[in-house]
Structure formats: C-alpha cells, structure tokens
Amino acid sequence: MAKANIGKLLLTGVVGGAIALGGSAIYQSTTNQLGNANRSNTTSTKVSNVSVNVNTDVTSAIKKVSNSVVSVMNYQKQNSQSDFSSIFGGNSGSSSANDGLQLSSEGSGVIYKKSGGDAYVVTNYHVIAGNSSLDVLLSGGQKVKATVVGYDEYTDLAVLKISSDHVKDVATFADSSKLTIGEPAIAVGSPLGSQFANTATEGILSATSRQVTLTQENGQTTSINAIQTDAAINPGNSGGALINIEGQVIGITQSKITTTEDGSTSVEGLGFAIPSNDVVNIINKLETDGKISRPALGIRMVDLSQLSTNDSSQLKLPSSVTGGVVVYSVQAGHPAATAGLKAGDVITKVGDTAVTSSTDLQSALYSHNINDTVKVTYYRDGKSATANVKLSKSTSDLETNSSSSSN
C-alpha cells in the first residue's frame, strides 16, 4: 500500500496541537498562581537518575533489521508543470515529456543483499508501478537513485538495485514453512511515507496461509498465498519487513483489509505479507532474468465454492466433489482449448496435485515450466476425464479484457 493522501492526518495533527497548546496554557496559569502563593516553599523537580534496562527480545529484533529497511519513493511525470520547474529553467507553457517529476507515492523496501558496489532491495511491485524515476531513502537519511532489476506483477514483488556505499546491514530471511500461529510478528516500514520511516508495530502471526486476491492494473485478478498478522500495517508499509522475534524477515508486507466487501463494516488487524520462502524464490529469478515466465492454460475460471447451489447443481457433479475450479471460458489457440477443455468443465487436479481453488490451480501450474506437458483431471456432465495439456503459452499471452481470474 503506497502512501495515500495524508490530509486527514494533517487535520488530526492540527486539532491535536491545539489541544496540547491549550493544556500547556492551563498548566502554566495554574503553576503561576501556586507559585505566587507558595514562592518560598517551592523545590525544583528533577529527573531521576535511576536507569532501567528496556532491552527485550522485541527491541533486539527491531535493531537487527532497522538499518536494512528503507523508504521507496516513486516519481512520475506530470502533465502540468512542477512547482519547482521554473527554478531549473522549466518553460511554464510546456506540457511535454520535459516536465519535471513529482513524487507520486511512497512505500517501503528491504535491503537483502550486497554484491560489489551494489545493494539489492525487495519491495512490492505496486510500490514502483508507473514510475519514471525511483529514489531509496536509507535509514541513515541518505537518498540514493534506484534502478529496477525486475518485477513480477503476479506475486506483487520487485527487485531494485542501489549503490552500496551507505548500506550498513542487510536483512536475513527465515524459513516461512516453520512459522507458528501466535508467535510474535513485527512490521517495520514507512507508514504514510518517509516522514514516519522505520516505524515498528508489534502483533502476532494470525495465520500462516491465507488466500488473498489481487487486482492488477490490467484488471486481471490473481490469488496468492499470504501470511496474516494483526501487527498494524498502513499505507506506506507495503514492501516493508515482517520479522520474527529473531529479527529475521518472515514476509514482505503487502496489504490489509479495512472493510467488508460491501463496505458496511470496518475491520482492524487484518494485515497480510508475502511469505519469505516465496519471496526468496521470486527475487532469485528476478535477479537472473528480470521477469518470471509462467505457463498458462488459457482459461477464465471461478472457484466452485463461489457458485450458488442452483448454479453448481447444473454441473451434475457427484456428491463427493466439493471443491474445484470451474472453467468460465476458454481462449482459442491456447493449451486448454487445444487439449479439448470447454466452458463448464470442473478441474479437480493438475498433475498429482488436488485443486480445490484457483490458488491451488495456479500453484500447481506454476510448479511446471513452459512447454511441459501436464495431466489435467476434470469433470464434464458429471463424469471424470483427463487431458494431457502441453503448456505452450505463458501468462503474458493471456487476454486481459475480463475481470474474472485467468490462467
């Protein structure tokens, strides 16, 4: 969640400031009156010299990662002239590509590697989307230019490269397959932007595997696996670190739910992060290839569980089939169509992996490479069948003119 408009925050700050000033005035008035009445009996108040050891596992964990968490600043070209363009010789009548850049949004990032004179930062793709230029603000206050090594819109991850000159520490990743519900989880990032850089919030790990649906810029929806936490996550935290009590990164913070789907109820404590094992797998590929090539079936689909009982009854499925993915449509010339799959088929297995949802299908499919052949098990008119599908197309070949999930 890149930084949102902070007008409400500023308004709150003004009101809070007024309250604080009022309290100060009352306090001064009271002490002045007391001082006049008891001037001879006043004694000075002093700060206690008793020291308290406040070092805990939490403070130690935050200290380990704080130097590797950064702010990512996304600059984009504006149609109108920047307020500062005249200082640098801008033409007030110009609306061309020579217009100055303006800060469009801010998010967070995590430095995870140093190599030679470079350092590598992982962040969310949506933090850098649409950028014309990127800066990274380090924990020490230095602002450095960043270049994009690669990104993956499906998992909402991106890798940036910066100079390592001022980089002190790099983060380490924990094994997210060994996480336990209820263990401490600490989010470190830049909520509402760099003015609140390196903010830490503490909570617990609420769930180790949740299906989170993302809507990409092209309107395509995808489902990813995510860690759930009740540690406070706000706009600007996106791309930051979710760490364990050892100061290791267990996930890259990605999103939160603020209301129910119909907007009728506000909710708190529903934050999500991309598991560290998934992050490591993706960033290694992005460093090498700059992108992720994934095979595609060429279908639009909907989870069987999302259908009404009336709709699902028309599929004539055996009572034993309670989960799967319903083929909504098939793209001509793509692997599913070539293998004979049709709209209305219910996919229940890809290879040896059971499929109960679109997330299962994507995970099973993406474990294969382009041009692999995979056996797909499905139901049609209540009868089980299989098809050998050659995965000759990638996700970049899919049509994206529908809001239903694609693969």
Cα 212 from Cα 220, distance rounded (Å)? 14
Residue type, 318: P
Q: Give me the pLDDT at residue 214, please.
A: 72
Cα 374 from Cα 359, distance rounded (Å)? 17
> One digit per residue, pLDDT tens: the chain, 407 residues?
554 443 333 322 223 332 233 333 333 443 344 445 555 566 788 887 777 788 889 999 999 999 999 999 999 997 655 454 444 444 444 333 435 899 999 999 999 999 989 999 999 999 999 999 999 999 999 999 999 999 998 889 999 999 999 999 999 999 999 999 999 999 999 999 899 999 999 999 999 988 787 766 655 566 788 999 999 999 999 999 999 999 999 999 998 888 877 788 888 889 999 999 999 999 999 999 998 888 999 999 999 999 999 999 999 999 999 999 999 999 999 999 999 999 999 999 999 999 998 878 988 898 898 999 999 999 999 999 999 999 999 887 876 544 456 67
Instruction: Classify each residue of 189-200 as buried b or exposed e, where b means 16 or more C-beta atoms within 10 Å of its C-beta.
Output: bbbbbbebbbbb
Residue ranges matching CATH 2.40.10.10 in the chain: 59-82+99-163, 176-289
Burial bucket for residue 238 (CB in 10 Å: 0-12, 13-18, 19+): buried
Out of 68, 105, 176, 238, which one is annotated catalytic? 238
Cα 361 from Cα 357, distance rounded (Å)? 6
Cα 194 from Cα 73, distance rounded (Å)? 8
Residue 28, both tokens: 């001064």
Q: Is 156 noted as a catalytic residue in this protein?
A: yes
Q: What's the whole-model pTM score?
A: 0.70
CA distances from 198 to 105, 180, 244 (A): 17, 25, 16
Cα 86 from Cα 334, distance rounded (Å)? 53
According to the 3-state scheme, what is the secondary structure of 194-207? HHHCCEEEEEEEEE
Q: Give me the pLDDT at residue 93, please.
A: 42
* CATH no., domain 295-406: 2.30.42.10
Q: In terms of CATH architecture, what is 176-289?
A: Beta Barrel (2.40)
Residue 125, both tokens: 């793709």
Out of 68, 126, 135, 176, which one is annotated catalytic? 126
Residue ranges matching CATH 2.30.42.10 in the chain: 295-406
CA distances from 168 to 69, 119, 139, 280, 387 (A): 11, 10, 9, 21, 54
Q: Is 276 noted as a catalytic residue in this protein?
A: no
Q: Give me the pLDDT at residue 224, please.
A: 80
pLDDT tens digit string along 161-218? 999 999 999 999 999 999 999 999 999 999 998 999 999 999 999 999 887 877 666 5
Give yes or no for a contact between 378 and 346, defined as CB atoms under 8 angstroms apart: yes
Q: In terms of CATH architecture, what is 59-82+99-163?
A: Beta Barrel (2.40)
Q: Is 126 noted as a catalytic residue in this protein?
A: yes
Among the listed residues 232, 317, 244, the one whose alpha carbon sits nearest the alpha carbon of residue 272: 232
Question: By percentage, how much of the chain surpasses pLDDT 90?
Answer: 63
Q: Give me the pLDDT at residue 45, please.
A: 86
Out of 156, 230, 303, 360, which one is annotated catalytic? 156
Three-state DSSP at 65 gives: helix
Q: Give me the pLDDT at residue 25, please.
A: 39
